[in-house]
Structure formats: structure tokens, C-alpha cells
């Protein structure tokens, strides 16, 4: 329980302060993102394909954010967020309305913020912002099977969680998270994590650590094309790790029209006596051609159990306004060690090489 001590203490102090404050004003904001286009790949299960796509620059989603001022620098806050497909209107996770986020909490300028509910890990919120996919506005640049949890897919959120984020001090913020499995076995499904974030002028950086029990990964035909992993046959099931340790660091630096960025992640997957390491180096640069036009370049190399995936991506994003963009993006991947090429968002190729092109439009509201 030592991991929960800081958030629980902060929550108690916030409640005491809020009890003596008078509620003054509250706001609820509706927000969202819609992205759709067309794409081509030279090899999806052995065939060249044209298809409609969605969520390339940002995931399709809508949500509600709420804040109520309680006085003395304290606020009650909440967020509800649902992912969906612009192409079909369907939700991204069957049976779940707010599949991306659903939490409530208290925030204090002096003590920090405590939130409780269905939340994303720090690897996504703090570290993911330095990845080539995020900085380069391209989902295709996320790493194989999202094993390092830099993308907000339906497999990374933490249920039954309590999270604390400190106020910024000299550019540094500290975060801590504890998620309970809600079973009679305290270790079953339990997750905890810590993170450090820094921002000062043109330089930003973050480091994260998470320890998770019983986390699910999609490694089969829909993502990496693995027939089995650590003794689990993946034809009709996902792989569930008994324990996962996810460590990562990233940084970015803005110099004039250039933005340089990079991340490193190392994920240890353990199950039934097996132990394998997924490791990724990711780096890239953006160039601001004009106020409206942004060129992006990013590359990564990932390894897992003797397999390797190496990818490079180039993109052009044109801003019609602050909320509306059109874009074009191309990615090429080569795999080694017997692995099939598998660009994020596509089914695996039939060989170790795959190329994909996407053009589309994104609008935020």
C-alpha cells in the first residue's frame, strides 16, 4: 500500500480544504476529433490493398471535461471519453461507452491533482508525446503491437485506479498511479507506476516506470502475425502476461523551425517461467516550412525474442486552420529474424517488407 500513500494523503487534504470552501462556478466542455481518409499498402497478407482509414493523425473520439471551482485554488474535475470509428460510427470497444477515459477527482494549485477511475498510464500521457507517431501526426509510426503502451488503444487503460500528479516545481512534475484488481487476490490485475516530467523553454523530457500484473496484448494475426508466444497459441486468443515491467524515457528540443525528439522503451514480459524483452529506439525531426505547413520524419527499430522491426516514415501536414488539417504520410518497414512486417493499423504482410501510404483530413472540435 505504500504506492497509494501519496495520492490518498493528498486526496484527504483536498477534501478537508474543499469542505470549507464555497462552490462558485462550474463548466463542462464537449470536445472531440474526427479523422478520415484513404490509404494504400503494397502487402497485406500477400495482397496490395486500397482502403478507407480513420484516426491516422489523432484517434477518433468525443468526450466531456468538467471543472467546478471550490475556492482557495481547489477544483472538482472529471473527464469522460469515448473512442469510435468515423467510417462506421461504431465504438472502438464493444460493450464500453467511455472506453478511453472515465474518472473524477480533485485538483489543488498547491497540493496537486488526485483522480480515480478508468485512466491512461503515464507511458501514454507523458512519454508518448515524444514518439515519432505523436510528434509526426501518424498512427502508422507507433511501435509493433503497442507493447510499450505509447498509443491509447483499448488494451492499455487501467481500471479501478487512483492517480496523483504533483504541481510543477522548477519545471518538474511527479506522477504516481495504483490500480487495484478488485479480486480476493491482491496481486491479481494490480498495476502501479511512477513518472517524472520536465518542461523548460525549448526542452522537454519524461521518464516512466510501470509494473503490471495480468495485462493483455494482441500479438496474433491482427497485429504481429505470431502463431504462438511464450507457450500460448495465438490463433483464437490474445496473450496475457503474468507480469510486465515497462520502462521508458523521452525528450524533445525545439530549435528555430526544427523540433528534434526521441524515445527509448524497454518492456519485460513474463509468463509461466518465460521472460522476453521488447525494446525500441525511436527518433525524428519536424521542420516548420511555414505557419501552415509542417514536414515530419521519424524512424524506429524494435526487437523482441530475436525478431526485429525497423521502420521509417515521412509526412506532410497542412493546417487549413488551428482545428483542421489535411495530410499525406508514407511508411516503410522491414522485419528480420523471421518476423513479418506489420505497420501499425494494418494486418501483417506475407513477407518481411511492407509499405503504406495515407492521405486524409482531420478536424478537432
Give the domain CATH number at 313: 2.40.160.10
* pLDDT for the residue 7: 52
Q: 155: which 3 cell numbers? A: 488494451
3-17, 94-108, 110-124: segment of lowest average pLDDT: 3-17
* pLDDT for the residue 153: 86
pLDDT reading at 69 higher than 80: yes
* pLDDT for the residue 24: 52
pLDDT reading at 354 higher than 80: yes
Q: Quick one: average pLDDT of 138-164?
A: 94
Q: 154: which 3 cell numbers? A: 483499448
Q: Quick one: average pLDDT of 294-301?
A: 98
Give the domain extent around 280.
Answer: 2-364
How much of the chain, in percent, has pLDDT values that exceed 70? 93
**Which band of pLDDT confidence, cut at 50, 70 and 90, is reported for residue 189?**
confident
**Which band of pLDDT confidence, cut at 50, 70 and 90, is reported for residue 56?**
very high
Q: Quick one: average pLDDT of 307-311?
A: 98
**Which band of pLDDT confidence, cut at 50, 70 and 90, is reported for residue 92?**
confident
Place of cell 500484473: 213
- 18: DSSP letter: H
Q: Quick one: average pLDDT of 77-84?
A: 97
* pLDDT for the residue 185: 73
pLDDT, greater one: 18 or 145: 145
Burial state string for 126-146 with b = 16 or more CB within 10 A and e = fewer than 16: bbbbbbbbbbbbbbbbbbbbb
pLDDT reading at 295 higher than 60: yes
* pLDDT for the residue 205: 98
* Residue 208 three-state SS: strand
**Which band of pLDDT confidence, cut at 50, 70 and 90, is reported for residue 18?**
very low
* pLDDT for the residue 2: 44
Residue 334 to residues 53, 226, 249, 301, 319, Cα–Cα distance (Å): 22, 16, 25, 10, 31
pLDDT in tens, 199-227: 999 999 999 999 999 999 999 998 999 99
How many domains is the chain built from?
1
DSSP strand E in the chain: where? 25-44, 47-54, 61-71, 74-83, 101-108, 112-119, 158-165, 172-179, 191-200, 203-217, 228-229, 232-233, 239-255, 258-271, 274-288, 293-304, 307-319, 324-336, 353-364
What mean pLDDT, rounded, does the chain reach?
92
Angle at 264 between CA 261 and CA 267, to 5 degrees: 150
Residue 338 to residues 219, 232, 236, 277, 351, Cα–Cα distance (Å): 15, 18, 21, 17, 9
pLDDT reading at 116 higher than 90: yes
pLDDT reading at 154 higher than 90: no
Torsions phi, psi for 247 (to 5 deg): -120, 140
Per-residue DSSP letters for 25-82?
EEEEEEEEEEEEEEEEEEEETTEEEEEEEE-SSS--EEEEEEEEEEETTEEEEEEEEE
Q: Quick one: average pLDDT of 15-36?
A: 73
pLDDT in tens, 155-181: 898 999 999 999 999 999 999 999 998
**Which band of pLDDT confidence, cut at 50, 70 and 90, is reported for residue 239?**
very high
Place of cell 498510464: 121
**Which band of pLDDT confidence, cut at 50, 70 and 90, is reported for residue 233?**
very high
pLDDT reading at 10 higher than 70: no
Q: Quick one: average pLDDT of 287-298?
A: 98
* pLDDT for the residue 254: 98
Q: What is the dihedral of CA 318, 319, 324, 328, to 10 degrees?
A: 10
pLDDT reading at 31 higher than 70: yes
pLDDT, greater one: 277 or 8: 277
pTM across the whole model: 0.89
**Which band of pLDDT confidence, cut at 50, 70 and 90, is reported for residue 149?**
very high
Amino acid at each position: 500500500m505504500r504506492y497509494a500513500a501519496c495520492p490518498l494523503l493528498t486526496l484527504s487534504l483536498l477534501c478537508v480544504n474543499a469542505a470549507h470552501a464555497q462552490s462558485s462556478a462550474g463548466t463542462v466542455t464537449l470536445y472531440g476529433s474526427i479523422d478520415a481518409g484513404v490509404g494504400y499498402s503494397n502487402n497485406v497478407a500477400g495482397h496490395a490493398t486500397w482502403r478507407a482509414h480513420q484516426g491516422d493523425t489523432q484517434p477518433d473520439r468525443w468526450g466531456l471535461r468538467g471543472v467546478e471551482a471550490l475556492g482557495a485554488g481547489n477544483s472538482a474535475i472529471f473527464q469522460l471519453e469515448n473512442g469510435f470509428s468515423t467510417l462506421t460510427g461504431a465504438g472502438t470497444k464493444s460493450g464500453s461507452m467511455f472506453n478511453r477515459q472515465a474518472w473524477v477527482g480533485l485538483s489543488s494549485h498547491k497540493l496537486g491533482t488526485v483522480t480515480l477511475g478508468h485512466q491512461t498510464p503515464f507511458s501514454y500521457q507523458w512519454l508518448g508525446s515524444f514518439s515519432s507517431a505523436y510528434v509526426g501526426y501518424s498512427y502508422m509510426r507507433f511501435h509493433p503491437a503497442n507493447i510499450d503502451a505509447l498509443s491509447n488503444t483499448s488494451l492499455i487503460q487501467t481500471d479501478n485506479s487512483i492517480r496523483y500528479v504533483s504541481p510543477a516545481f522548477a519545471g518538474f512534475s511527479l506522477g504516481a498511479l495504483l490500480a487495484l484488481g478488485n479480486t480476493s487476490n491482491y496481486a491479481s490485475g494490480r498495476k502501479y507506476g511512477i513518472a517524472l516530467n520536465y518542461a523548460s523553454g525549448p526542452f522537454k523530457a519524461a521518464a516512466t516506470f510501470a509494473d503490471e500484473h495480468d495485462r493483455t496484448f494482441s500479438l496474433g494475426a491482427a497485429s504481429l502475425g505470431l502463431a504462438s508466444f511464450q507457450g500460448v497459441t495465438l490463433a483464437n486468443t490474445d496473450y496475457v502476461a503474468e507480469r510486465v515491467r515497462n520502462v521508458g524515457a523521452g525528450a524533445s528540443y525545439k530549435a528555430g523551425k526544427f523540433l528534434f525528439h526521441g524515445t527509448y522503451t524497454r518492456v519485460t514480459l513474463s509468463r509461466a517461467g518465460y521472460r522476453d524483452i521488447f525494446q525500441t529506439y525511436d527518433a525524428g525531426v519536424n521542420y516548420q516550412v511555414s505557419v501552415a505547413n509542417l514536414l515530419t520524419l521519424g524512424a524506429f527499430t524494435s526487437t523482441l525474442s530475436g525478431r526485429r522491426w525497423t521502420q521509417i516514415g515521412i509526412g506532410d501536414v497542412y493546417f487549413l486552420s488551428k482545428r483542421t488539417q489535411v495530410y499525406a504520410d508514407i511508411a516503410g518497414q522491414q522485419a528480420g529474424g523471421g518476423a513479418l512486417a506489420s505497420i501499425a493499423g494494418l494486418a501483417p504482410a506475407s513477407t518481411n517488407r511492407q509499405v503504406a501510404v495515407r492521405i486524409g483530413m482531420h478536424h478537432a472540435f
